[in-house]
Chain A
Amino acid sequence: MPVAIDEEGIEEALRKIAEELKPIVSGQTTAFIGLKSRGDSVAERLVTLLAEDDSAELFLGALDVSLYRDDLSRFTNNPSLQGSEIDFPLDDAHVILVDDVLFSGRTVRAALDAITDYGRPKKIELAVLIDRGHRELPIAPNYVGITLETAKEDHVKVFLDTTDNKEGIEVTRAE
């Protein structure tokens, strides 16, 4: 049976993360950096939810980790580069990395390497819309929208308005 989460489920998950982040960002400067693709859309929506608090100074950036991946030699084709947009200083910043799905943790590892090439943040945390388990590295999220029980071979696909013109999460079970 395929598990599916609809538009409302995604909205609820985003609000849950935002609630947890409210006291963290209040009166502070926080840099949200979304991992392309889709992590950047998730980050943008979190920032929109948190922007109600005038005391919070929020920066929004996007990071493409393609050039930092440790598995490029296994790809038959390298991914097209989508570009990073980080136009604020990261030295001593509080950075929250944002991604749609947390799986092996390899993208996050690559992102940590990339971030240090832009500067030296005082703290880096991780927020994910979905944690589907099966980590291959010692990486844990600080903020999670939905925790999904999956088999390692399952496919979890997130659709967002900004990239896919529809909203939802689909889990295709391995045969």
Chain B
Amino acid sequence: MNSAPKDFLDIASFSKEDLTSFLDNTMQMKEIFTRSVKKVPTLRGRTVLMLFYENSTRTSTSFEIAAKRLSADVTNFDVPRSSVQKGESVKDTIDTLEAMRCDYVVVRHPMPGFAKNLAGLTNMSVINAGDGQHAHPTQALLDAHTIREVHPELEKKKVLIIGDVLHSRVARSTSRILDKLGAEVAFLGPGSLVPKHSKFSRFTNYEEAIAWKPDVVYLLRVQMERQTAPFFPSTAEYHNLYGITRERLAYLSDHGIYLMHPGPFNRGVEICDEAVDYERSLINKQVENGVAARMSVLYALKPQTSSFIIE
């Protein structure tokens, strides 16, 4: 990278070379997990703050483990009980946290662009852990790394993303990184949930999509909690139309196609029980790689807080 980034906000801000460097470092971070002491002193004396305006146990735990493996101190800012609820502005909250000498903020917020706004208000490094439907760039990094582990050369590899693409920040970020790295992406889902105007191929029928010959099938989570105005009639119907059923699993297996899901998955909706134990399921790998990818991001960023003296 030409000059170290302060923040990690979205995939669009980084070049192919930058992203490759994040991915190469992700691979090296994994070696630490094999040692007797699974921790390095890189961020000793630095503080990482977790600022989650939306619940996400998995992502926050993954970030927390990543920060701790690099020896940073981790503090959770308890948003529901904080003065944010008493009407404190974001700028005032962030100034308070910076005054406590934090160096990194990991933020998740339902509003697109929130992380970017925050980054403009602080010297701390801001890492976007999901901002509304906009971006989830560390998920993209771990997804790309997971595919690289089975297909080291991403160029021309085909990834089929299935589900509610329209409302998914995972789909947005992951498709973008794969595209930048030279892979081909296609979307499949109900017509109402797949963008009509994107640079990627678009399918609404499973059989047509699978005939595109993907190397990887990437399932998005059906966000049951966000189905206030249902975009499809029932979960059983979704499973029949777009889910990985036993028959479809047999096809994936016969054709050596890998299966991914950002988790947590809904059994019987996106995937059948058997698919969870599928030999080419990369779902657990994604979780493991999430920690390494987040370590790679924390390692590369340069906060402009006082504990970092740049000569």
Q: Which residues of A contact B (CB under 8 A)?
A: 64, 67-69, 72-78, 80-84, 113-114, 116-119
Per DSSP, chain B at the interface is loop
- A127–B193 Cα distance when bound, in Å, is 63
Q: Which residues of B contact A (CB under 8 A)?
A: 1, 3-4, 21, 24-25, 27-29, 31-32, 35-37, 39-42, 70, 299-300, 302, 307-311
Q: Which residues of A contact B24 (CB under 8 A)?
A: 80-81
- A67–B27 Cα distance when bound, in Å, is 14
Q: Name the contact of A73 in the complex, choosing from B36, B40, B41, B308 (C-beta under 8 A).
A: B308
- A122–B31 Cα distance when bound, in Å, is 24
- Is A78 within 8 A of B300, CB to CB? yes
Known: A76-B3, A76-B302, A78-B300. A113 touches B28 (CB 8 A): no
- Is A117 within 8 A of B302, CB to CB? no
- Is A77 within 8 A of B1, CB to CB? yes
- Is A68 within 8 A of B40, CB to CB? yes
Q: Name the contact of B39 in the complex, choosing from A69, A83, A117 (C-beta under 8 A).
A: A117
Q: Name the contact of B29 in the complex, choosing from A68, A69, A81 (C-beta under 8 A).
A: A81
Known: A68-B41, A117-B37, A118-B35. A82 touches B28 (CB 8 A): yes
Expressed in whole angstroms, the minimum distance between the Cβ of B72 and any Cβ of chain A is 12
- Is A117 within 8 A of B40, CB to CB? yes
- Is A67 within 8 A of B3, CB to CB? no
- A51–B231 Cα distance when bound, in Å, is 70
- A84–B35 Cα distance when bound, in Å, is 11
- A72–B3 Cα distance when bound, in Å, is 14
- Is B28 within 8 A of A64, CB to CB? yes
- A102–B210 Cα distance when bound, in Å, is 58
- Is A73 within 8 A of B42, CB to CB? no
Contacts A75-B4, A77-B302, A116-B37 aside, 20 further interface pairs with beta carbons under 8 A come to A67-B42, A68-B42, A69-B42, A73-B310, A74-B311, A76-B310, A77-B4, A78-B299, A78-B300, A80-B21, A80-B25, A81-B299, A83-B27, A83-B31, A113-B41, A114-B40, A117-B36, A117-B39, A118-B37, A119-B36
18 contacts between A and B (CB under 8 A): A64-B28, A67-B40, A67-B41, A67-B299, A68-B41, A74-B310, A74-B311, A77-B1, A78-B4, A78-B299, A78-B302, A80-B21, A80-B25, A81-B25, A81-B299, A84-B31, A117-B37, A118-B37
Q: Which residues of B contact A82 (CB under 8 A)?
A: 28
Q: Name the contact of B36 in the complex, choosing from A72, A76, A77, A118 (C-beta under 8 A).
A: A118
- A114–B36 Cα distance when bound, in Å, is 11
Expressed in whole angstroms, the minimum distance between the Cβ of A142 and any Cβ of chain B is 25
- Is A74 within 8 A of B36, CB to CB? no
- Is B35 within 8 A of A117, CB to CB? yes
Q: Which residues of B contact A81 (CB under 8 A)?
A: 24-25, 28-29, 299
Expressed in whole angstroms, the minimum distance between the Cβ of A156 and any Cβ of chain B is 21
Expressed in whole angstroms, the minimum distance between the Cβ of B98 and any Cβ of chain A is 17
Expressed in whole angstroms, the minimum distance between the Cβ of A62 and any Cβ of chain B is 11
Q: Which residues of B contact A83 (CB under 8 A)?
A: 27-28, 31
Q: Which residues of B contact A75 (CB under 8 A)?
A: 4, 310
Task: Select the residue from B1, B40, B70 with max chain A CB neighbours within 10 A.
Answer: B40
